Structure 1
Amino acid sequence: MKMAKILLTSSLLLAASSVFAQGKASEYTDADLVWKDDFNGKKLNTKDWNYEFHEPGWVNAELQSYDDSKKNTYLKDGCLVIQALKSEKKDGTSAYTSGRINTQGKHAFTYGRFEARLKVPKGMGFLPAFWMMPDDESYYGQWPKCGEIDIMEVMGQETNKLYGTLHFGEPHGMVQGTRVLDKGNFADEFHTFAVEWEPGEIRWYCDGVNYKTAKDWFTKRPGFGEQTFPAPFDQPFYIIFNVAVGGSWVGYPDETTDFDPKKDDAKMFVDYVKVYQKKEYNENVEKPAKAPVVAKTDASGNMISNQKSAWEFLTAGGGVGSVESDGKNHAIKSTNEGSLEYSVQYVQAKVPLNQGYRYRYSFDAYADAKRTMITGISAPNNSYARRFGDVKVDLTTQKQHFSYEFNMIADSDPECRLEYNCGAQDSTATIYISNIRLEKIGEIDLSFGKKCLPDGNYVFNGNFQEGKNRLGSWEIDNKANAQISVTRDRARMLKVVSPKKAKNEDVIVKQTGIKLEKGKDYIVKFDAYSSKTTNILVKYGDVEQKIRVLQAKTDSKTKALIPGHYEWVYVPESDKEIDFQLLLGSDGATVCVDNVYVKENCVVINGDFDRGDSGWELYANESSKAKFDVVNGAAEVKIDNTGSMDWMIQLKQNGCLLEKGKIYKITLKAKSDLDRTIMLALQRDGAKDDNWYPYSNTLKFNVGREFKEYSWQFTMGMETDPNVIFTISMGAVSGKPISQSHTVTIDSISVIEVQKNEKK
């Protein structure tokens, strides 16, 4: 049967928003239309769309594979149809296929209204989506740092409820809105879904109703500063349509799920997709100021409420129990401990913590029999990051007093959560807790900083992406009244426009207090170009370096200006604390500078972790659970769940240099309190093109309870690469996830060049 095409013109739909909108009415009209696809052809236009190819389990523990099969993705009766299919394999298990298409590299947009009219599949385990991802996911870093805009998601088992979501971070942050239909559903009739994305504000619409607006988000990498707002939502995004089958959020198909291709249950129909844009947008926006976090206390300074209503008892993963409480004294009872630490859980939410303070957390506790519990303070709005804990508490039948102190270094948060996790610890003995206190005991110095960033750079914000006007961490001395800014293009370069007769020393951009060590080689480097060939100065310590910056050249294909690269080595004769200064006054020239680095001239820095976690960061995929600390001069990665792939947990260092033809020796020490296999590689950075070639080969090794030294040699057979990633992967082993909690300890990492006559 031919399906009815659009019932209202787009202009009427847009106008309808002013009548029905609960929030802001749309200001976009047909005159703003810049691209559309109404799917009226015989086959999908591959000049506009790409097919995606992915194996089952690629993300979110989903069941389907994606390919370009015409059975999964096709045009019919003026609609795009994405069809999920189920088949039986020879071993009797089920296989699922579906479709996923995108406009990456063909149509990408920064800001605008993105609209589609569609209807969704229905049935347990279906998750259709109309959403957007950045055209260059590496620009701000891997997901979720790069950002994600979900315009429409509807669970197949709940087709009257719509979700619109932003993902960003790190730590992973999220803004989500929902709309529930009063009558009807999203599977039996077409509805119009849209997002209006502008600098500093993103609005979700359903059939003209503005049901959610976001004005506050962020992105950063661990150990780095926060990127200037509205990052990451200030870059080109492309459009995606797909239907997932199963997953960690939606759940999995059951006996009621109908995959019959003759029916519509497993199909998403898209009538059209349209993009509207204004001629210009004002990007001069600031992140909304957050209200101060106010901590309520009693007369004794205790921040924990003694009201019974402030506490909540929760179960999950098979846990069964109850609690008896008068608000001050609590008895946590379990009849089934469940499979998770939080299967039996007692919590107090909305506990405020302020950045820059030291806290003391204490309580009295005992149990009916000797057992353990786990306590901590989490941040539910930041992927449950731990502000304190998790601490395993050994309980006896005698009441004991427990007291802990911790610093709040993260941003102030009014909605932290105090937790007592009593599940999966080989006991159902009742736990008794009383005299619970949380109190401020002093302020801490947040200016301590790290010696260097996780990429080894001693210069902070050398890419000019952080802080107010993207000039965070830099001090400016502008005697010449020069124009100083950061360019708005994707390069984000420092731009200095000097008046005529300005001297180098009239415009100084600097950072102070950089601590360098005697005898070490440091690479000093940056990229720069000028409107005319000119000289600038670089000062650090007792060195003054004169640099001749050439007039910019233009790339013949992209028409972008090509900066020159300037690099040299500096060896301090003693331990020094230096000021690093760029003297950029240049007699009427415009000088642009980017990628400013001062870093050790070695493959891997801080491999012995004597400078804490400087140079290192942990990547943990959303489907895994792990955290990284430096304890007693060694890296400890505590893993509660590996996820389904080996790469889902990685201790890594970016920006390593490997030179063509050279021989390198890798050594490290490692152990684990659970016998397992881990993996190491020095690999290409494939964030832009998904090519993660392992220059060192993929090196797997077994670790156990005793420290053992491991060693390998390899020859760099490819072209010289200054952006290699050193990774130790601790995810699933041979595709088998590990859900047993364990800790991997790593120390004495070294990657050194070996002379050919030393080769063994």
Structure 2
Amino acid sequence: MKNRAFKKVAAMTMSVILVCGFVTGCGSTGSETVSEPATEEQAQEPAADQSTDAAPATDASSEADGYTLVWEDEFDGNELNTSDWNVETHEPGWVNAELQRYTAIDEGNIEVSDGTLKIKPHIEKITTDDGEKEEITSGRITTQNKHDFTYGRFEARAKVPTGKGYLPAFWLMATDEGLYGQWPKCGEVDIMEIMGQDTSKSYHTIHYGYSSGDGHRENQGIKTVEPNGFSDDFHLFRVDWEPGKLTWFVDDEEIYTTSDWFTGTDDDNQITYPAPFDQDFYIILNLAVGGNWVGYPSDAEKEQMNDKVFEVDYVKVYQKDTEVYKAAEDVAERPVEDVTFREPDAEGNFVNNPTFTEEIGLDRSEKADPNNWKFHFESDAFGSTYELSDEGITLLPKTAGSVFYAVQLKQENIPMYKGWEYEISFDAYSTEEREITVDVEGPDRGWIRYFEDTPVTIGPEKKTYTLTFTMNEKTDANGSLEFNLGHMGTLAPVTINNVKLTHISGEEITTETKTIRPDGNYIYNGSFDQGDKRLGYWEIEDPENVSVTNDHNVRELKVVVPEDSCEVVVEQKGLSPIAKGDYEFSFSARQEGGATDGVTFTVAGKEITPALESSSKEYTEKLTFDSDVAEEASNFEIHFTKKGTYYVDNTFLGESALIKNGSFNAGLSGFTPYVYDSVTANYVIDSMNGNENAFAITIDDTMATDEGNAWYVQLNQDGVTLTEGKTYKLTFKAKSTIDRKIAYSLQEYEGEWTNYSHTEEPVAIGKDWKTISTEFKMEYPTDTNARFNITLGSVGGDRITDKHDVFIDDITLEEIN
């Protein structure tokens, strides 16, 4: 096999054809192919720096950099200015398993005095219906919908509290999470986070990705000063956010910069860079107490809690001229990395250092070699370590952690070729019988599993273990072979040696056919927000006549037909095959100086010519295919036939059903599973064991112990239309390998999360399929973006620690009146 190197760019093509009848002047005849960058995280930990001098940036220095002060709060009064700030209230456990209740302005946790903002944690005993309990409160303020910013310099001068369990933060969140989707699709910029147990270290991070859990990515820089440096004195924390680049500073010293991020639903549906960091964000100041990352305060720390404070001297925002940002956004490009596929050794082994004769490094440390083994542990398994010897590597867990990968040995950059069958073999033993979990995943692809998490039972006798799997996903140069020891009920050490991963059969599959998009759409980039110039999947023969607008994040295909005798055709060929049945084709369109019948859409031979108006209007057509349409005939075309300017957006071809793909015959298309970070769960579309394309999820532990966090595991479909006054019937099947309860609803997406279907009571399921059905009347205003939800976490507050499978199938929603 030859070594292969290529640029990491996922090409997307779609044709644009200009046809002229004996008339010149319709534009150039050249062609342009645009591409969308592929995914690759850029994360690093800079070397520690002992500089502690606080040297706040002045307005003059910002002006010299081309910035103008656009907003500030120096907290000079004696109360919080609520025309600038919102005070958010939230119950304990709202996010990240935190302890605090965020309080209202009059409860004492938020104070402005002596020229600073003070956010104070507080602990006290309170009496409830369940008896006396401990309550921790704190404060959180935001500028959402009062001061929102796209790009700029954001800075705050602050001092943080010391003590385990405190997490003060100065950060940015997207004003409209609906633009690109819920976190992490929407993006997050952490200008400063500091853990109270180590106030010598500040964290500077962006969060992004396809989905929470395995789809979440982060890039992070770290600044280290002398012990307690950030709690002893005020320091200046800043981020400069420009199109395609974020740079963090502490006391005017550059700490970290990154330009590498993405958003979308998957590798084939990434939104045009620099999304998600090209939209309005708002400022947040808060002090969290406890949580998955920072840990929890001890009893001794709780005794001192009422004396602690997160203090902020001021917050300032500077921006450059709008034209400067627009020009930079137009040329912003995601970094493209050269990727080389690793070659196997003479015995065909793709694993480097298989007998551990060379030193390895801690994950994300300076000594970590990307082509060697890395030892990883989560914060709740701190103190875990390893030893190298003639026997190989011995992994020594200190604590089990809360997730199975809390203690992990991994090697990345192992090539995974689609279609290949691989064999993993290794020697292993322990001091007692115990399990380890082996997997191969794709770190650059949302940690997708190429080889599912597979338990292996080992014991005191050294044995050789062999596992095989077939790579069914797209070829990936960066596969990660992982041995996991965390959260398995034992701290017994594990010794591993002679690790091999070899190709045993199969040829690489290099051809890729189009599939139905995750939202159920047969058309790629139908919203014109993907790829270079937002024209991903389009091959442009006349770029002067075809473009995409971008006015305050509103994107439309814009086509200018210069003469009546010129026809511009925009098309996608070879869509996913269209099965016999009923479909719905929808789009929005308008014209300026054109003809009302100047655009014709063709879907697999069926023509639609709407009556266009000067303002944008949504159109929907029902299409019936009496027989299957093969891939070569599954073409989509837009014909612009008459002189004028035309705008088209949101082209969508999908099943004619209120809930799309309820049979799961198109995989997960239309559905979004959700698994919270602390939960270990894996899901597939199962066509074995008597199932016919059922959604199947394996849950190790639902983790939450209260009803308020039952949402830790979900299956969702957004975009369901419910019309006021109409009556609906919802039906689906469910079963589980153990007796348990699930919950379901058709609900408002965000906002008040109104349960439209009034299905508040949990449903008990067991080992046999159970048909669940309800009828309801839509008693609220029409909602075109309702969510269908099945909740699979700790329903009723009952934590399930037994590993089990849940199956869902045949989801239908019918209008019955």
TM-score (norm 1): 0.86
Displacement after TM superposition at 1:710 (Å): 2.1
C-alpha displacement of 1:324: 7.8
The one-letter amino acid of 2:153's match is R
The correspondence of residues 721-736 of structure 1 with structure 2, limited to 5 A, is: 721-736=783-798
Which residue does 2:250 correspond to in 1? 206
Matched, 1:653 2:690: no
Say if 1:35 and 1:274, in contact at 8 Å, map to a contact too.
yes
Greater Cα shift, 344-353 or 461-470: 344-353
1:131 aligned residue: 171
1:240 Cα deviation (Å)? Answer: 0.5
Higher relative contact order (CA 8 A, sep 6+): 2
TM alignment of 1:624-703, pairs within 5 A: 624-632=679-687, 633-644=693-704, 645-686=709-750, 689-703=751-765
Mark the CA change 1:511 to 1:99 in structure 2 (over 3 Å): closer, same or farther.
farther
Identical amino acids, percent of aligned pairs: 34
Give the Cα–Cα distance (whole angstroms) in 2 for the partners of residues 238 and 225 of structure 1: 26
Picking from 522, 542, 545, the partner of 1:482 is: 545
> Relative to structure 1, is the Cα distance of residues 322 and 176 closer, same or farther in structure 2, using a 3 angstrom cutoff?
closer
Q: Pick one of 202, 219, 236 that aligns with 2:263.
A: 219
Q: Find 1:580's aligned residue among 636, 646, 656.
A: 636
Distance 2:305 2:494 in 1: 53
Distance in structure 1 (CA, Å) of the matches to 2:192 and 2:493: 46
* Paired residues of 2:85 and 2:142 also in contact (CA < 8 A): yes
Do the aligned residues in 1 keep the contact of 2:355 with 2:392 (CA within 8 Å)? Answer: no
Residue 395 of structure 1 and its aligned partner are, at CA, apart by: 5.9
Residue 401 of structure 1: CA displacement?
5.4
Does the 8 Å CA contact 1:117/1:192 hold for their aligned counterparts? yes
| Cα offsets for 1:601-623 (capped at 9, x unmatched) | 11223222233222222122333
After superposition, what is the alpha-carbon deviation per residue over 1:655-698, rounded to whole angstroms, capped at 9, x for unaligned? Answer: 22333333322222212223221111112222xx3544433533
Aligned length: 719
Aligned equivalents of 1:585, 1:241: Cα separation in 2: 54
Check whether the contact 2:397–2:485 (CA below 8 A) recurs between aligned residues.
no
2-structure distance, mates of 1:514, 1:408: 18
- Code of the aligned partner of 1:405: F
Measured in 2, the distance between the counterparts of 1:528 and 1:678 equals: 42
- Once the two structures are superposed, what CA deviation does each residue of 1:298-340 show, in whole Å capped at 9, x if it has no partner? 112211122413556777878999988667x658688999576
Q: Distance in 2 between matches of 1:337 and 1:41?
A: 48
What are the equivalent positions in structure 2 for 1:409-558 lying under 5 Å apart? 409=473, 412=476, 414=478, 416-421=480-485, 424=488, 434=498, 436-439=500-503, 442-445=507-510, 447-450=512-515, 452-476=516-540, 478=542, 482-501=545-564, 503=566, 505-518=567-580, 520-532=581-593, 534=595, 535-552=598-615
Distance 1:320 1:269 in 2: 32
* Residues 737-746 or 170-179, more deviating: 737-746
Q: Write the mapping of 1:141-540 to structure 2, written as runs, cut at 5 A.
A: 141-170=181-210, 171-182=215-226, 185-222=229-266, 225-257=269-301, 263=307, 266-279=308-321, 280-281=324-325, 282-284=328-330, 285-305=332-352, 306-308=354-356, 309-310=359-360, 311=373, 330=392, 338=400, 342=404, 347-354=409-416, 356=418, 358=420, 360-363=422-425, 372-379=435-442, 385-393=448-456, 402-407=466-471, 409=473, 412=476, 414=478, 416-421=480-485, 424=488, 434=498, 436-439=500-503, 442-445=507-510, 447-450=512-515, 452-476=516-540, 478=542, 482-501=545-564, 503=566, 505-518=567-580, 520-532=581-593, 534=595, 535-540=598-603
Alpha-carbon distance, 1:235 to partner: 0.4
SS in 2 for 1:548: coil
Q: Tell me the equivalent position of 1:103.
A: 143
In the TM superposition, what is the alpha-carbon distance from 1:481 to its structure 2 partner?
5.2
Change (3 A) 1:608 1:52: same
Over 3 Å counting, the alpha-carbon distance change for 1:359 and 1:472 in structure 2 is farther
Distance 2:489 2:156 in 1: 49
Q: What is the distance in 1 between the residues matched to 2:376 and 2:196?
A: 27
| CA distance in structure 1 between the aligned counterparts of 2:342 and 2:497, rounded to whole angstroms | 23
Distance in 2 (alpha carbons) for counterparts of 1:344 and 1:146: 27
Instruction: Note closer, same or farther for the CA distance 1:67–1:704 as it changes in structure 2 (3 Å cut).
Output: same
Q: 2:153 aligns with which of 113, 125, 139?
A: 113
1:712 maps to 2:774? yes
5+ residue gaps, structure 2: 1-52, 361-372, 688-692
Q: CA deviation at 1:115?
A: 0.7
The aligned amino acid for 2:205 is: T
Q: CA RMSD in A?
A: 3.3
**Local SS of the residue matching 1:283:** helix
Which structure 2 residues correspond to residues 52-71 of structure 1 after superposition, within 5 A?
A: 52-70=88-106, 71=108
Following TM superposition, by how much is the alpha carbon of 1:145 offset from its aligned partner in structure 2, in angstroms?
0.9
Q: For residues 475 and 662 of structure 1, do their structure 2 counterparts lie closer, same or farther at Cα, with a shift above 3 Å needed?
A: farther
Given that 1:665 and 1:753 are in contact with CA atoms closer than 8 Å, whether structure 2 keeps it comes out as yes
1:141–1:221 contact (8 Å) kept in structure 2? no
Cα 1:220–1:359 change in 2 (3 A) is farther
* Greater shift in the superposed pair: 71-80 or 353-362: 353-362
Shift of 1:707: 2.4
Measure, in 2, the Cα distance between the counterparts of 1:151 and 1:236. Answer: 16
Structure 1 residues 354 and 198, CA gap change in structure 2 (3 angstroms): farther
Q: Give the letter aligned to residue 100 of structure 2.
A: Q
Contact 1:126 1:157 in 2 (8 A): yes
Deviations 1:274-297 (A, max 9, x none): 111110211021111012043142
Residue 234 of structure 1: CA displacement?
0.5
Equivalent pair of 1:476/1:509 in contact (CA under 8 Å): no
CA separation of 1:420 and 1:325: change in aligned 2, threshold 3 A: farther
Per-residue CA deviation, residues 123-180 of structure 1 (Å, 9 max, x unaligned), is: 2211100000011011111111110000011111211111111000021110111101
Residue in 2 aligned with 1:40?
76
Once the two structures are TM-superposed, the CA of residue 532 in structure 1 deviates from its matched residue by 3.1
